[in-house]
Each structure stands twice: as C-alpha cells, then as structure tokens.
Chain A
Amino acid sequence: MLYQDTVESEVLVHKPWFIAAVFAVVLAVFMLFNLTGTTFGEFMRPVIGDPEQSGLYGRFAIAFMIAVVFCVNVVFIAFAPLNVQVGIVWLELLLLFLAFFDSFNLSLPFISENLPYLITQGVVTTIYVSAVSLVFASLIAIIAAVAKLSSNGFAYAIASFYTSFFRGLPLLMQIYLIYLGLPQLGIIMDAVPSGILALSLCVGAYMTEIFRAGIQSIDRGQWEASRSMGFGFGLTMRRIILPQALPVIIPPMGNMFISMLKDSSLVSVLGVWELTFLARTIGQPTFHHMEMLITAAIIYWIMSACLEVAQSRLERHFARSKVR
C-alpha cells in the first residue's frame, strides 16, 4: 500500500473517461498492425468475410474486438478482491508470455530431451557457484562493513580501497583478471574456484555498503544501552546491532542474491559448465538456439522466484518484534 491512510478512492478503471481513453489507445495501437493474416483474422472471418480481402475494414474490426475484450477484462478484474486481481493479472501476463514464446515454433522434443542434463549439470553448477559465493561474499561484507565503520585508519583504508576497486570494475573484467592474471603470480586456480572468488569479491563489495547502511540505521541509543551494561564491541554487534540491522538489509540483500544468481552466468566465459554455458553449447551445433536460451531463461526465473519467496518469508519472520 502506497498511502498508509484510510481514504478510499474510486476505482480508476471504473471511471468512464478512463475506460474510454484505454479503449481509444488500444484501438489505435492495433490499427497500426495488419493482423488480417493471423489467427485473429481467421477468428473474425464470419464478420469480415475473407480476411485477405477485407482491407481497412478488416483491420478496424479486429482492433475493435481486441479493444472491447481488453476493456471488459480490465473492468471485470477490478471488481474482484485484491489477491484475486493479482492472481488473474499474473496468469494473463504469463499466458501472453507463453504465447509469445510459442510463436517461435520451438521444438519441444529437443527441449525435453536436453532438459534433464541442463538441470543435473547446469542448474547444479549455477546453484553451487552462487551459493558458495554468497556465503563468502556475506563474510567479506560483514568484515569490510565493520572495518569501514571503525576508527582504525588501516582498516578503513583497506576496506574502502576494496569496495572502490571491486565496485569500479566490470565483473567480467574481474573474472578474466583473476583467471588469467593470478597465474602470472604463480597462483593457478581452476575455473570454478576462480569464478567463485571473482563473484565473492565483487558481490562482497556491494554487500559491504548494504551492511554498513544497515548497521548505521540502528539508533545510537542501542549502542549506548548495550555499552552501558558492559557489553563489549563483539557482543554488542552480534547480539544487539546485527539482529536489528538484519530486517533493514533483507530487501537489498534479496536484490543482491538475485542479481548474483544471474551474474554467475558470466563465469561461463571460463568454460564452467553452468546453465548459460550449457544452453549455448547444446543449442549451437543443432541451430536450436532459441529453445535452449528460453529454457535457460525460464529456469533462471524460477530460481529467482524461489529467492523472492525466501525473502518475503524472512521479512515476515523479522516483522515479529514490530507488533503493537
């Protein structure tokens, strides 16, 4: 809810002028396209006769029908309770997406043939790389955040140099630098550890700032109360400050985790057999690019959705001390 008050405004999509405006816009947009040659044309055959011959009239009739259906749909949805509304709109958008993908004429047997391998090899590697990086990134971030808040010059300098450097370089560049640059120093790492190291360092730099903001958002009085009872720095941090900072940093952390999950696809340049790499290499030789890319896209989306659910669960869990 945007406004935390109790004023109830009239439903926008039940205002005649708004519906009229929407109708006009939809009509105008679909008039721009010639849909007579598509299934829409076939569907309208009883009204407009042979779609091929119907000309401007056919175009108008098709656009008109689409606009009517669209407006009726919108008006009816607005009568439903909020969560039903959300559900219906989600479902409709999803169907539109599927229709869009379907229009590529994808080869479903090819997808179902390669899906198991894509999951057992690709998804597992992606999740492994992301999860390990996530743990390391969080550890780095918390140490760097504390260092950035400390009055120790060395700690502050090192931490701020670290965040500046790793936020300032493209992740792809960091991955190359670590994989190709470190061997020059005699440190040779495999592709997977290199990828994990690069991801951890990069995401850790962003998360440092999130942790720092979270820690700073806690009222000074909490520190004072804690210190006045004799708690040391570590105890105060662990038991008083971080538990309160956690709810504040969960939404931006959710963002970080989701973007890291997808950034793990950059590790494919090192030849790690994760989801994106497999989708590309399986699709290429058989010219089934779109099949594999769309499948991989949907798998990424499902994994992100799981993280979103986890995030909202966590937010609800931490909301408990805010009860009144």
Chain B
Amino acid sequence: MSVNNLSQLNGLTGNTPLHAVSAYHAPVTSISESLGQMSAEKIIEATNVSKWYGSFRVLTEINLTVRKGERIVICGPSGSGKSTLIRCFNRLEAHQQGDIIVNGIRLHDKMRNVTDVRKNVGMVFQHFNLFPHMTVLMNCMAAPMWIKGVSEAEARKTAMRFLERVRIPEQANKYPAQLSGGQQQRVAIARSLCMEPAVMLFDEPTSALDPEMVSEVLETMTSLARDGMTMVCVTHEMGFARAVADRVIFMDSGKIVEEGAPNDFFTNPQHARTKLFLSQILSH
C-alpha cells in the first residue's frame, strides 16, 4: 500500500473516532501477501446460500469463500443479514438452499454431529454471553474439558495461556459480572481461543461496549489477526476493517452488494448503496 493511498484513506475517514485508528499504525499484511494465500486451504465455502424466515428472505444466493489465514470484515446496515450469515457458518441458524462447507464438513439438515464443526469454529457474540455462574477461568476451561476431554490441569494451563494472551490473567478467579464490558468480551475471545479453532467468527463484538472499551477489544482482535488467525468479523469499526481486513464485504437486504480489498472498498466504492452507507457511517 503506497503512502499516497494511506493519506487518501485518512482523508476519507478523518472523522472516525481516534480509538478506531490509533491502535493500528500500519496494515497487518500487504495486499500481495493475501493474494499469495489465494491457493491456501478453504476453511469456509458458501455457495448460493439462501435462507428464509417464513416467507421473508434473509439471505439471497450468498457466495463466500474464506481461506486459511484470511481476515474478512462484513459490514452493512442493520437487518442486512450479516449476523445471520455468520451464524449459518456454525449452524446456529439453518440455511435452506445452497451449500456451506466448513473445515471440510458439509452443513445440512440431517447432520448428526454438528459438534465436529462447532469445536473448530469459535464465536464471539455482541453481548459476550459468558456463563455468569462460572468463574472466568472455568468459562475458559469448560469446553476443552467437556468437549475435547482434556484433563483439568491441561485445561487450566491452556486457559491461563489465553487469558494472558488477552491480558487479563489476574481476573481469572472472578465472576463475569465483576468485570467491565471490555474485559468480559476479551474473556469471551479467550474462551473461544481455548478450543484452538480453525476460524473465529465475531458477531459485532464491540457494539455493546462503552466507547472507551472498544479499543481494548479491537487491539486484542488485531493481535489475533497478526498471529494469522482466520477471522470473519461482522463489525462497524471501519478503522479496524481498514487496518486488518484482507477483504471487506458489504451486504444489503440479504445480498452481497460489494466485495473488495479495504483499500479499493473505502477509496473507490462501486455501488451507490455502498457509497451511501460509507458516507453515513463515516460522517457521524
């Protein structure tokens, strides 16, 4: 990415809150690097995916491939189907048409063992959804112990490693309600990481947070991205998208309207709907 482009970007997003930009001085990878990954193994492959709620069509023929190490940001207005789409990837929602293949396993109605998919797909929710009756440590140890059958000592070691990774090992023995929103979300990230998933899904991870806690969560996500984690993020943090994403996908009314490298996406959006969305989200 040239210096020229960067300054253009900064010009476009000059009004975004400082915290969204300050954490990332440089893009995590260059475009050429991500082009090189095109041949990498496919983690998620969605072909012609459609979904209805009753007679209302939420997703219309979505095609999306996520390769190993790729970081994808999905944005769009509310109700555009972006959360629904990523919830289809671990089958919290069922799709009615098309194919979704996650980590080599095809998702379909008759599947017996959805756990095989889910233990390889981490998910972080908007409202954290930590288990309030368990300590932070236990939240992180639960899945490895009960799903993978890891010993307690081993699970504790893994949990502490990832709690250190999100920089809150000192909170390990507290209950979630004793933590701030930003801390809870970082615990939620650590909890997913403890399963060492092949891909992490983020469903608006910063939307329920106070403004000053957004950056601590985004920093955690950025550092994950640096370590090569495959990520699909639904987020409105455009600073994060610009710095971290390999591809930005814009959805509206259940369709993928536009898709591109962040550089092109932000400086030169093709569709009128994308332009409108970007002007609204960046000019508040």
Residues in chain A within 8 A of chain B (CB atoms) = 219, 221-222, 224-232, 235, 239-240, 243-244, 320-324
Number of interface residues of B (CB under 8 A): 26
- The reply to whether the CB of B31 lies closer than 8 angstroms to some CB of chain A is no
- Assembly CA distance A323 to B119 (angstroms): 31
Given contacts A221-B125, A243-B133, contact A229 B177 (CB under 8 A): no
Chain B, residue nearest A318 (CB): B133
Given contacts A224-B92, A239-B142, A321-B133, contact A229 B127 (CB under 8 A): no
Smallest Cβ distance from B242 to chain A, in angstroms? 28
Identify 15 new A-B residue pairs, CB closer than 8 A, beyond the known A244-B132, A322-B132.
A219-B129, A221-B125, A224-B125, A225-B123, A225-B129, A225-B131, A228-B90, A229-B118, A229-B119, A229-B195, A230-B114, A230-B195, A244-B131, A321-B175, A324-B178
Residues from 104 to 124 in B contacting A, C-beta threshold 8 Å: 114-115, 118-119, 121, 123
Q: What residues of A have a CB within 8 angstroms of the CB of B92 in the complex?
A: 224, 227-228
- The reply to whether the CB of B56 lies closer than 8 angstroms to some CB of chain A is no
Smallest Cβ distance from B111 to chain A, in angstroms? 13
Q: What residues of A have a CB within 8 angstroms of the CB of B90 in the complex?
A: 228
Chain B, residue nearest A242 (CB): B133
- Assembly CA distance A322 to B92 (angstroms): 28
Residues in chain B within 8 A of chain A (CB atoms) = 90, 92, 114-115, 118-119, 121, 123, 125, 127, 129-134, 142-143, 146-147, 175, 177-178, 191-192, 195
Does A222 lie within 8 Å of B147, measured CB to CB? no
Chain B, residue nearest A222 (CB): B129
Does B175 lie within 8 Å of A229, measured CB to CB? no
Q: What residues of A have a CB within 8 angstroms of the CB of B121 in the complex?
A: 228
- Assembly CA distance A227 to B90 (angstroms): 9
Smallest Cβ distance from B82 to chain A, in angstroms? 16
- Interchain Cβ contacts under 8 Å between A and B, 26 examples: A219-B129, A221-B127, A222-B129, A224-B92, A225-B130, A225-B131, A226-B131, A227-B118, A228-B121, A229-B147, A229-B192, A230-B114, A230-B115, A230-B143, A230-B147, A231-B143, A231-B146, A231-B147, A239-B142, A243-B133, A321-B133, A321-B134, A321-B177, A323-B177, A323-B178, A324-B178
Q: What residues of B have a CB within 8 angstroms of the CB of A240 in the complex?
A: 131
Q: What residues of B have a CB within 8 angstroms of the CB of A235 in the complex?
A: 146
Smallest Cβ distance from B176 to chain A, in angstroms? 8
- Assembly CA distance A219 to B119 (angstroms): 22
Q: What residues of A have a CB within 8 angstroms of the CB of B142 in the complex?
A: 229, 239
- Assembly CA distance A158 to B123 (angstroms): 37
- Assembly CA distance A147 to B153 (angstroms): 37
Choose among A224, A230, A320, A322 the residue that contacts B119 (Cβ–Cβ < 8 A): A230
Does B175 lie within 8 Å of A323, measured CB to CB? yes
Does A228 lie within 8 Å of B175, measured CB to CB? no
Q: What residues of B have a CB within 8 angstroms of the CB of A323 in the complex?
A: 175, 177-178
The 7 tightest CB contacts between A and B, nearest first, are A225-B129, A230-B118, A221-B129, A230-B119, A228-B123, A230-B115, A229-B143
- Assembly CA distance A285 to B214 (angstroms): 80
- Assembly CA distance A226 to B130 (angstroms): 9
Does B129 lie within 8 Å of A224, measured CB to CB? yes
Q: What residues of A have a CB within 8 angstroms of the CB of B133 in the complex?
A: 243-244, 321
Does B147 lie within 8 Å of A321, measured CB to CB? no
Which of A239, A244, A321, A322 neighbours the largest number of chain B CB atoms within 10 Å of its CB? A321
Chain B, residue nearest A224 (CB): B92
- Assembly CA distance A323 to B132 (angstroms): 10
Does A239 lie within 8 Å of B146, measured CB to CB? yes
Q: What residues of B have a CB within 8 angstroms of the CB of A243 in the complex?
A: 133
Chain A, residue nearest B118 (CB): A230
- Assembly CA distance A221 to B188 (angstroms): 13
Smallest Cβ distance from B119 to chain A, in angstroms? 4
Chain B, residue nearest A232 (CB): B115
Smallest Cβ distance from A157 to chain B, in angstroms? 24
